Amino acid sequence: MAAPAADPALRAAAFDACPVPLLAFDARLRYSACNRAAADALGAPADRIVGAAVGEPDAARRALAGERVTVPPTTPADGPDARTATWTRVFAPLG
What would the pLDDT profile of 49-90 be if each residue is shown by its tens digit? 999 999 899 999 999 999 999 988 876 665 565 556 677 889
Q: What is the pTM of this model?
A: 0.79
Share the mean pLDDT of the chain.
Answer: 87
Query: Of 32-36, 41-45, 62-66, which gets the smallest average pLDDT?
Result: 41-45
Q: Give the pLDDT of residue 67.
A: 95
- pLDDT score, position 73: 82
What residues contact residue 75 under an 8 Å CB cut-off, 6+ apart?
83, 85, 86, 87
- Say how many residues make up the chain: 95
**Average pLDDT of 22-40?**
95
Q: Which residues pair with 91 in a beta bridge?
A: 69
- Whether 67 and 59 have beta carbons less than 8 Å apart is answered as no
